[in-house]
Structure 1
């Protein structure tokens, strides 16, 4: 037998050299940090959570809307709102160009989408951040869309869910970004006065100005397992205080233990848990 026959597939006169075989298409499999490999179809059916070890893969508004809204049916709010360049920010990559590139890459207008629809038959407003759009950073559009989502929830007395995943305020809008912290917090105070429920779901990561404003102001503050939640990063804190940080510092589990969260919820039970919570509040 020719030694090259070991590297060929021969069947009924068909010969396929090894170098002609097609590779498995990329993107069909995902690998968890623990090394478990899961097919993307299985992940979709499991709310993007690994069935082997419970690892929560990061997802965006598209996937969360699919998980939460009945039959993925919803009406998006302020869908076409997009950022300008209020400061005329210029560096090696002008801000307006960065916005357009992010829009083309992600198919999103900015780092948050808001919508209303039914969740197990209950009316709800959901605002969900997208980390893929400039790190989920909060600029004027994010603050305004969240403020308008709050207004909509207040006008219709629908409960509000905000899903946070953000690196913090958007530096390219400087003070305009910081103003969104006060604006969203003031709007949420109106929601609280009207006794309309607000649930804040923090996912990995929730940091900076987002964690310092609306993400921590929920009537119920909840999180996904192992989510990183904090203001400054662990390295900055360690260097500032000059001490080693506790084990699992800034994880959802650490925050729950120290009273900053009401509960941690597995994404596979998120819709069920939120429905039960809202029915109890009714």
Structure 2
């Protein structure tokens, strides 16, 4: 972002400069190179004061500290700060994105908080794998698992929307509810709590296999990491997870109009719900990773 901003700064001709022909930051005369510095070229900044400064100085000001995006004189903000994609994640998004790094950066900018949370979980996995002397190929597989998860959450298409609408209608049909149960403390659906938003539901359903498997891994104290990632719980693990959740009372006080607790679980799963043990509630937040 800073590079694009600098490239578009309008140059100021010598005849437009005031009597002071020197950059006010480095005091170097515009257009004259020194033994240690290239020639300064005057540029006008897009701030209310229209401040003029040497291009070398403003470049150092913005590029040496990625947290700077302001005029060095009046502190007017030039552009929104953008955190670069972490190198490892940048590579993964590029590998799996049809439109390359530009699209990957746009995705990262819009969902940076979620990505940073996923990367925290990924870093925890990496720490365990490194301590266990896991081979690089296994660590790479986990990297791609996380990247796949992220893209599944963000690439919501028409087919996913239709699946989510079908799942919502089925939910209403199989229960006595007429709207999503956002008002119960045991269930949280979508980031806004809306009962009508289909896109968050589609994203939740798309990421269910990842979120559910991630929750299972963490409850197993990460020893299963050495087996490598899979798409979701197999039948044996699914049964063990159901019994564990039932012993915790996860199915008490939720969907009580459905008699069988296992059927409650299936209904919840069809809506993208994962049991968040930290908050002791079922959550269908598309980007929720259970810690």
Shorter-chain TM-score category? under 0.3
User: Which has a greater percent of helix?
Assistant: 2
Q: Return the TM-score normalized by structure 2.
A: 0.27
Q: Return the TM-score normalized by structure 1.
A: 0.27
Please identify the structure whose Cα radius of gyration is greater: 2
